[in-house]
Amino acid sequence: MSAKALSAFLETVRGWKEGRVEPVVGRIRETRPDPFAILVGTLLSLRTRDATTEKAFERLWPLAPTAEALAGLPLEALEAAIRPVGFYRTKARTLQAVARRLIERHGGRVPDDLDSLLSLPGVGRKTANLVLTEGFGKRGICVDTHVHRILNWWGFVATRHPDETEQVLRRTLPRRWWMSVNALLVSFGQEVCRPVGPRCGECPLAPKCPFPGKKSASGPGARRGRKDSSPGPAGPS
């Protein structure tokens, strides 16, 4: 697929998305345009449904709206606030490790550069790029499993891991799509172009899709890398 063809596909997805609910991190940004809120929400969202993430964030935020408050929150209270997000015990420890690192190295503030974000416990390229784009309005490409899978299915990339997809996109994706491709394809991947049981009959791209009739995630784009499946300090996302 050429960059021109991809742009046409993304324009169609953008039209489909109008009026639909934003992914959870976008909703957090709309109500709390704070990089720390974006970072916390993103870490909570890993391997967790948006509705569950949003409820957990709303319980946690009044208790820990700053790195200092989060670091000082009793672990049991933190776990209770974010349960039942996936891997909630691991995420609770990761959140407090991140808060302590922010206090120790950044004065309690979220840094606005990729390398510093990647130095935080449990933070990989997906999370770091999402914080940069949603929290600071900086140009970046956030690649989660939906973006990775769909762009492989469409034939724009042929990659095995989301991080590899990001590197290819930095060379090939038109810059006008850098900040929006994640929100577009996350919504589309959750509702239509799903990894299992894709709703091809509801897809506005079905007549042109280069990979029609998908039944399950298979092929290079279906493999999930370690950084997307392990949310703790040993597996940043």
Number of domains the chain contains: 2
Q: Specify if 204 maps to a domain.
A: yes
Q: Specify if 237 maps to a domain.
A: no
The last residue of a domain, from among 82, 106, 136:
136
CB 116 within 8 A of CB 106: yes
Whether residues 125 and 217 fall in one domain: no
pLDDT at residue 88 is higher than 90: yes
Mean pLDDT of the chain: 89
Whether residues 187 and 124 fall in one domain: no
CA distance 224 to 229: 7
| Residues of the domain holding 95 | 24-136
Whether residues 45 and 89 fall in one domain: yes
Contacts of 70 (CB under 8 A, 6+ apart): 40, 64, 78, 95, 96, 99
pLDDT at residue 117 is higher than 90: yes
pLDDT at residue 84 is higher than 80: yes
Q: What is the CATH number of the domain that holds 161?
A: 1.10.1670.10
Q: What is the pLDDT of residue 185?
A: 96
Q: What are phi and psi of 85, to 5 degrees?
A: -60, 155
Q: What is the pLDDT of residue 234?
A: 42
| Stronger pLDDT, 47 or 234, i.e. the higher one | 47
Q: What is the pLDDT of residue 214?
A: 54
Q: pLDDT per residue over 3-44, tens digit each?
A: 999 999 999 999 999 988 888 999 999 999 999 999 999 999
Q: What is the pLDDT of residue 60?
A: 97
Q: What is the pLDDT of residue 22?
A: 86
**pTM for the structure as a whole:** 0.83
The last residue of a domain, from among 118, 136, 154:
136
Q: Specify if 236 maps to a domain.
A: no
9-13, 27-31, 141-145, 229-233: segment of lowest average pLDDT: 229-233
Tell whether the torsion through CA atoms of 81, 84, 89 and 95 is positive or negative.
negative
Q: What is the pLDDT of residue 19?
A: 87
pLDDT at residue 51 is higher than 70: yes
The last residue of a domain, from among 115, 136, 157:
136
Whether residues 181 and 129 fall in one domain: no
Whether residues 153 and 117 fall in one domain: no
CA distance 191 to 117: 30
Whether residues 127 and 220 fall in one domain: no
Q: pLDDT per residue over 158-217, tens digit each?
A: 999 999 999 999 999 999 999 999 999 999 999 999 998 899 999 999 999 988 655 544
Percent of the chain with pLDDT over 90: 80
